[in-house]
Amino acid sequence: MNKKILVIDDEDDILDFVERVLKDAGFVVYKAKDAKQGLTVLQTEKIDLILLDIMLPEMDGWQVMQMLKSEERLKKIPVAMLTARVDAYDKIIGLKEGAVDYICKPFTADDLLKRINDIFLYIEKNNL
Amino acid sequence: MRMSFRTKFIGSLFLIILVIFTAMGIYMTLNRINEVRGEIINNARMFVTLTSDKIGDAFVRYFKTAFFRFRAIVLEQKGLNIDLENIQIIDLTGRIHYDMAQYEQGVLFVEDSYSTDSFVLQNIKKMEMNIMVDDHLCVIVPYIDEYGIHNYSIVYHFTLKRMSNEVSKVVTGSIVMGLSMLLLSVVLAVIVSNRVTGHLAVVSKAAKEIADGDFNKVITIKTGDEFEDLSNAFNFMTEKIRENIRELNNLIEELKKRDIQKTHFLANISHELRTPLTASIGYVDYIKKEKMGALNPDQKHSLEIIHRNLERLNKEIHSLLLVSKYTLEGIKLKPEEIDISELIENVINNFTPEIRLKGLVIKKSFAKKELFGDKENIRTVVENLIGNSIKFSAPETAITITTDIENKENQEYFKFKISNYGATIPEDQIRKIFEPFYQVDATTSRKYGGIGLGLSIAQNIIEAHQGKIWAESREGLTTFYFIIPQGG
């Protein structure tokens, strides 16, 4: 069965690009422009991976992450952070607390797919 | 020679007092001389007036018949005046009939001895008293006998010794007084000058403290005189300085705030620029790789150019973000053991297209293969230095990269060195190239591209590693160095 990926980013064009690449690679893609839309998707769909932008309006990526980790049903879903590299640079350690990975903007299709494949491989190997 | 105020003050006071007392001493002495002289003369005059008749009578009556009676009368008279030295009785021809001094000294009177004293001879016949003051006081008094005949004159000799005695007394007195006054005044001068220099010391100490940066110094001198004025003026001055410094500090704070605002603005702008780039680079790369259908060579070439330019834009924006981040937050290092030779090789590989395009040769010599530092940051420095060297190299030249160990003052340093041939960086600009946004000249940015942040970032990073980065450039050979302390 195809893996389901939820992308949360406030930029339409980035959502569009990520959706295109992931769809071409055979994933099922759900898009959300903010935390609220993302949570709506999470309530109905069983998501395998969340790509989460850090710079979001109203509630930022860190807060979203905390919320996900506080809910029993959602806390096992792996989260990869999308970030402008400089922002994430010194927060990698913090990331380890919740996120499985971080993907720096700007990224190419190859970067993105390789990271996502690595994440799923890692999850499979560790039976998470 | 530097003389302290104290020395000058005491010295000049000493001199002034010395002069005053000398003058006073001289004045008093002269005064006293005149006084004593007048006194002696008056005494003599009175004495002569009172005794001349008595002596004259005794002489006429007893000299020849009862000499001892005469002598007793004369001696009795003499005893009445301490200044009297001699009494002579002389007739009008100048012949001395009686000379008390000689007689009393045991010299028997010589008949027919005449006075040789010119004053006596001149005045002997005169009918009034004559006084002469020379080395002694000489008074000639005519003796008129009971018949009114002037046959003899009596000559009195008074000594002026009392005068010189008085003078020496006065001189001694004024010297003693002068010396004691001098001593007193020196003591007083020391006390006064201590007070003065004490106050001045307070002021000068405060001035030094202010010079050392303690602008809250306030001095209190409550003497009600010029020192208080001085301390008030001083406090007023420091108050003004404090005010100015406050204003300056406020200005500095304001400038810092604005600088931070500007840096924040820069960070935001870079971030905003990066977001549209993400979608653009992503899609261009995706299309270029023919993921959305095959491309003809022209399309592929055009996309290649778009992609390259977007990457360049991305790199510059990344630099801007780095600079603003370092400015705002400083650099946080995660040092580790780095295989620096591998890192350099890796960076060189990434520059292969540019190196080929210019026909450059890279000469490498890695005497030291490891470096303890922050890998990401060191990579940025190496990328910047190699990128610069390639950018500024003349075509068909060689770039030399070496790593080494250097020992200085018991400290081991890792040393990186990269040289290239091309334009010489002028002496006066070699330091400025590490300032952000600096380009050697306005045309540099147009000719070589870039917004001049690479070296500034490199410097930030190397300094965060407690290291040093610098450049040398002469006769077309430009070399960049950095050293980072190792171990310990």
Find how far residue B224's CA is from the centre of its chain. 28
Domains and CATH numbers, chain A: 4-126 (3.40.50.2300)
Q: Cβ–Cβ contacts within 10 Å for residue A115, how many?
A: 18
Q: CB-based contact (8 Å) between A92 and chain B?
A: no
Least confident of B8-12, B109-113, B134-138: B109-113
Each domain of chain B, given as residue ranges in start order, spans 5-165, 333-486
pLDDT of residue B50: 87
| The residue count for chain B | 488
Of A55, A89, A107, the CB nearest to B282: A107
Residue that wins the pLDDT comparison between B110 and A9: A9
The number of C-alpha atoms within 13 Å of B67 and in the hemisphere containing its C-beta is 7
B376-395 b/e (C-beta count within 10 Å ≥ 16 → b): ebbbbbbbbbbbbbbbbbee
Residue that wins the pLDDT comparison between A116 and B201: A116
Model confidence band, residue B265 (pLDDT cutoffs 50, 70, 90): confident
Which one of A56, A108, A113 makes the best mutation probe of the B interface by having the most chain B beta carbons within 10 Å? A108
Of B281, B286, B332, the CB nearest to A106: B281
Contact residues on chain B for A89, CB-CB shorter than 8 A: 325, 376
The tens digit of pLDDT for each residue in B275-311 reads: 888 889 999 999 999 988 999 999 999 999 999 899 8
Model confidence band, residue B472 (pLDDT cutoffs 50, 70, 90): very high
Least confident of A22-36, A89-103, B5-19, B234-248: A89-103
Mean pLDDT, to the nearest integer, of B422-447?
A: 72
| pLDDT at position B361 over 80 | yes
Which one of B263, B271, B275 makes the best mutation probe of the A interface by having the most chain A beta carbons within 10 Å? B275
Contact B434, B385 (CB under 8 A): no
Mean pLDDT, to the nearest integer, of B326-344?
A: 86
| pLDDT at position B120 over 60 | yes
Q: What is the dotted CATH code of the domain comprising B333-486? A: 3.30.565.10
* Main-chain dihedrals φ then ψ at residue B453, nearest 5 degrees: -110, -20
Contact residues on chain A for B376, CB-CB shorter than 8 A: 89
Strand B477-486 and strand B411-421: pairing?
Answer: antiparallel
% of chain B beyond a pLDDT of 90: 25
pLDDT of residue B484: 94
| pLDDT at position B451 over 80 | no
Least Cα distance to B453 among B328, B360, B322, B353 occurs for B322
A80-106 b/e (C-beta count within 10 Å ≥ 16 → b): bbbbbbbbbbeeeeebeebbbbbbbbb
Q: What is the dotted CATH code of the domain comprising B5-165? A: 3.30.450.20
The tens digit of pLDDT for each residue in B388-430 reads: 999 889 999 999 999 999 888 888 999 999 999 998 888 888 8
Whether B5-165 shares its CATH topology with B333-486 is answered: no
| pLDDT at position A48 over 90 | yes
Contact B384, B349 (CB under 8 A): no
The number of C-alpha atoms within 13 Å of B200 and in the hemisphere containing its C-beta is 9
C-alpha span between B472 and B483 (Å, rounded): 14
The interface predicted TM-score (ipTM) is: 0.84
